[in-house]
Amino acid sequence: MDDPDFNVRLAAADALVAIGAAATATLLSALGSENPDVRRASALALGRLGEAKAVRPLIDAVKDSDARVRNAAAVALGDIPDHRALGPLLIALKDGDDEQLRHNAAEALGKLGDVRAVEPLTVTLADPIAHMRVAAAVALGKIRDPRAAESLQLARKDTHATVRQAAETALACLRDGPHGDGSTRAL
């Protein structure tokens, strides 16, 4: 994991993921490395493993001094279905200084599927940055909470075509209901 070549570090992380849960301790240790590239590769690998015991260290990594590590940690938290990540991801969503972190947090919130993220994500539908509005719409579609319908309807009139399309897709997901069974077709 400490090789100077990032591709080698990624290959090492992939090998550890292939080992499975037994590699968690090694990856958690690497998450504390002085090398930010090692921390980033470790965070991504921990997310792919999906181990719940990695959630707390990944939450801490969302506050890392290196932006790439913060972003990798947010992505990883989206890959582990654990609602302890909700609060830190909501904070990251509002972090005006790191656009990529905000984007990754929105995507991770969608993967978590926690309805407590609906209100902050609907606020993000009014973000001045188009790809943030897209990420919020996609996340809301994954959460499938009907409370997002009104905001998504407004997003269908966005000036950017990608936002309009994401809102349409999200509304279709809402119409399919929380379980994809058509239980909220009235939207």
In the chain, the percentage of residues whose pLDDT exceeds 70 is 89
CATH hierarchy code of domain 1-112: 1.25.10.10
Domain boundaries, the chain: 1-112, 116-187
Q: What is the mean pLDDT of residues 114-132?
A: 97
C-alpha 55/C-alpha 37 separation (Å) is: 19
Environment class of residue 96 by beta-carbon count within 10 Å: exposed (0-12), middle (13-18) or buried (19+)? Answer: exposed
pLDDT confidence of residue 180: 55
User: What's the pLDDT at 14?
Assistant: 72
Residue type, 107: E
Give me the pLDDT at residue 36, please.
Answer: 95
How far apart, in whole angstroms, are the C-alpha atoms of residue 31 and residue 69? 9
Distance CA 157, CA 150 (A): 12
| The pLDDT value given to residue 18 | 74
Q: Which CATH architecture has domain 116-187?
A: Alpha Horseshoe (1.25)
What is the C-alpha to C-alpha distance for residues 67 and 127, in angstroms, rounded to an integer?
A: 21
Is residue 97 within 8 A of residue 88, CB to CB? The reply is: no
Q: pLDDT tens digits for 83-94?
A: 999 999 999 999
**Tokens 């921990």 map to which residue?**
46
Identical fold for domains 1-112 and 116-187, yes or no, is: yes
Model pTM score: 0.87
Residue 123: pLDDT over 80: yes
- Per-residue pLDDT at 187 exceeds 80: no
The percentage of the chain sitting over the pLDDT mark of 90, rounded to a whole number, equals: 76
Alpha carbon 124 to its chain's center: 14
90-112 residue pLDDT tens: 999 998 789 999 999 999 999 99
- State yes or no: pLDDT of 19 exceeds 80: no
> What pLDDT does residue 20 have?
74
Rounded Cα distance between 136 and 127, Å, is: 9
